[in-house]
């Protein structure tokens, strides 16, 4: 592949072979010895748009088979990985569409959580984080 070093191709192909599209720095450790080199290779791959940073510790791999760098991941899976599967719920039109209450497909995903606020775009998904209280997150 043009633009990727031998080490980068080895890393990407190994993660893809293991189907680890969501990964952490620790998953990169077997390929790179020092922490500085790990940060450097992750930075280079982000710059080349082969990986996307989801949160402080988690990244998403754009597979080699996506030649142009364009790829799609399920929006609900992406939200779950961004928030590490903890303390959130999905609301709005996305939830209504999921439960077949409407045929309208949501353009944006509304996520209610205690931690985040703001709007972020991952791949083709726009996620609107809204703050809520912990008591609203409890299951009845």
Residue 101 CB-density burial (10 A; 0-12 exposed, 13-18 middle, 19+ buried): exposed
**Pairing state of beta strands 125-131 and 108-113?**
parallel
CATH topology of domain 6-61: Arc Repressor Mutant, subunit A (1.10.10)
Helix axes 35-47, 6-17, angle to 10 degrees: 90
Does residue 108 sit in helix, strand or coil? strand
Instruction: List pLDDT tens digits, range 71-111.
Output: 778 899 999 999 998 889 999 999 999 999 999 989 899 99
Instruction: List pLDDT tens digits, range 10-21.
Output: 999 999 999 999
Intra-chain end-to-end CA distance of the chain, in Å: 52
Domain boundaries, the chain: 6-61, 75-137
What's the whole-model pTM score?
A: 0.84
Is pLDDT above 90 for 125? Answer: no
Instruction: List pLDDT tens digits, range 5-59.
Output: 899 999 999 999 999 999 998 999 888 889 999 999 999 999 998 999 999 999 9
């Amino acid at each position: 592949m043009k633009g990727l070093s031998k080490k980068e191709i080895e890393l990407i192909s190994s993660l893809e072979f293991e189907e680890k599209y969501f990964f952490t720095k620790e998953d990169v450790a077997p390929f790179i010895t020092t922490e500085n080199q790990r940060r450097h290779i992750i930075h280079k791959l982000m710059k080349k748009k082969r990986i996307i940073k989801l949160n402080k510790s988690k990244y998403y791999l754009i597979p080699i088979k996506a030649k142009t760098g364009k790829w799609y991941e399920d929006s609900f899976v992406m939200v779950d990985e961004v928030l590490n599967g903890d303390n959130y719920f999905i609301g709005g039109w996305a939830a209504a569409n999921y439960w077949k209450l409407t045929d309208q497909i949501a353009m944006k995903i509304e996520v209610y959580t205690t931690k985040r606020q703001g709007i972020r775009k991952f791949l083709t998904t726009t996620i609107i984080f809204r703050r809520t209280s912990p008591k609203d997150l409890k299951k009845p």
